Amino acid sequence: GAVVSQHPSRVICKSGTSVKIECRSLDFQATTMFWYRQFPKQSLMLMATSNEGSKATYEQGVEKDKFLINHASLTLSTLTVTSAHPEDSSFYICSARERASPETQYFGPGTRLLVL
Amino acid sequence: GENVEQHPSTLSVQEGDSAVIKCTYSDSASNYFPWYKQELGKRPQLIIDIRSNVGEKKDQRIAVTLNKTAKHFSLHITETQPEDSAVYFCAATVFNKFYFGSGTKLNVKP
């Protein structure tokens, strides 16, 4: 089956630094990737939709200058949390969708970010 | 945007009993409704899905029903087992974007 990886799996950083999270589709071309945020014991909140070669579309309330998304190739999307603060600490999960199956999303394993 | 509500937030059942989780959605354009199981610290796993042109779908012990008129859909798990314990999320898809419910923590007691 389709596999999506994320790197790193967990990261601890100091307040004010930027953190980059990678999402890769390993055995298929992902025309679209999604980024979600999940707080402890809460649901997945869609942050943005990333299409290869174009600008990401952000959901209402998500700061695009804070969460920079790049989808440079059909197998890689990156989320950069800029000037991270403790309130950005969360579980970030990406998912990828291939052209042949637009309804199916394959989730990455998630990245746990802790900002001190 | 789409608003998905899910109930109950927690559900505790005895092994062998059935469990039902219900979701409602707001956008009539939603056309695909997947259900995910998520274990602690892991990625969501698709367990069953249903499309808007179907009223019911079953896969062994798991079934999903959809009422488009009322905009609600439900997950039914029969003969529950301890390994069914996890958090379950419903989702509604509008223009291929997924909007998730708040989750139900299912605890199956042996």
Helix (H, G, I), strand (E, B) or coil at A88: helix
Please return the burial class of B14, using the count of CB atoms within 10 Å of its CB with bins 0-12, 13-18 and 19+: exposed
Exposed, middle or buried by CB within 10 Å (0-12, 13-18, 19+), for A92? Answer: buried
Asked if the Cβ–Cβ distance from A103 to B42 is below 8 Å, we say: no
- Residue A102, pLDDT > 80, answer no
By C-alpha distance, the chain B residue nearest A33 is B97
Contact B43 A60 (CB under 8 A): no
pLDDT, averaged per 10 consecutive residues of chain B (110 residues), comes to 92 97 96 93 91 91 96 97 96 88 95
Specify the residue for token string 């989750």.
B103
Nearest CA in chain A to B31: A103
Q: Compute the nearest-CA separation of B32 from chain A (Å).
A: 7
User: Shortest CB distance from A108 goes to which of B43, B97, B98?
Assistant: B43
pLDDT at residue A1, rounded to an integer:
67
List the single best residue of B96, B104, B105 to mutate versus A (max A Cβ within 10 A). Answer: B96
Name the residue facing A102 among B96, B103, B105 (closest C-beta): B96
Flag the least confident range among A28-32, A97-101, A103-107. A97-101
Cβ atoms of A57 and A64 within 8 Å: the answer is no
